[in-house]
Amino acid sequence: MAVTRCQENTGFLVLHRCENPAEFDCVYCGRRVCHEHGRPVEAPVVPATPPPAVPDAGGAMAPPPPPAAAAQAYACLTCLRNRQQQPQKQQGVGPGYNDPYYQYPYYGSYRPYHSGYYYDYGDRGVFDRDRSSSSDNANALGS
């Protein structure tokens, strides 16, 4: 049996293909992964179809074979990470709130009142004119 390499990518600074031998099949994407990049999951594994009962020579039907022990399922880390993020996206947040339009501070009603982020430097310019050099810009003579 040919030993295949793990198909997960790894590396902190430089991403590269994992060198470990593959041990499991990911139940979600089917990729072969090693023991470092596979985690046991409770995902349902579709059992192999039992062989059909065949009557014996006397015509009696043999009892069906006992079910095979449920094989432990594994999933790759990439699929686990992706599946963990999905519930957050589905938690009662309307599609409009994912729209960047609503996350731009100008329209940012998702932020709490008096958040320091809602008003920017320009907004504070309404109040933060320099008193010492104040003059009416419309006229150098002042007012």
Partner 1 sequence: MRSAVDILYYAPGGGLGHATRAAAILRHVRRLGGQSMLAFITTPHALPLEHEGIPYHCPADPAPESLRSEAEALIESCKPRVLVVDTFPFGITGELADILPALDCRKVLVARRLQARWVGWGRLAWKHFDRVLLAEAWGEADNAARLCSPILLRDAEELWPCERAKAALGVGAEEPVVLGVSSDDPDWTCVFFNLLRKIWQRLRPSARLRLASPHLPAGDPLCMDHYPLFEIFNGVDLVVGPCGYNLLHETRACGVPAIFLPQPRRYDDQYARAHGQPSAATPEGLETRLREMMPSCARREAAVYVNGAEAAAREILDTL
Q: Are strands 16-17 and 9-10 parallel, antiparallel or unpaired?
A: antiparallel
Site for partner 1 in 104-123 (CB under 8 A): 106-109, 113-114, 118-119, 122-123
Nearer to partner 1, 12 or 121 (CB): 121
Strand partners, 74: 26, 40
Binder among 9, 82, 103, 135 for partner 1 (CB under 8 A)? 135
The phi, psi pair for 75, rounded to 5°, reads -135, 150
Smallest separation, CB 29 to partner 1 (Å): 43
In angstroms, the CA 109 to CA 115 distance is 10
Binder among 2, 54, 69, 126 for partner 1 (CB under 8 A)? 126
Nearer to partner 1, 12 or 117 (CB): 117
Task: Decide: helix, strand or coil at residue 45.
Answer: coil
Amino acid identity at 53: A
Q: Are strands 38-41 and 73-76 parallel, antiparallel or unpaired?
A: antiparallel
Rule CB under 8 A: say whether 141 interacts with partner 1. Answer: yes
Q: Which residues are near partner 1 by CB under 8 A?
A: 106-109, 113-114, 118-119, 122-127, 129-131, 134-143
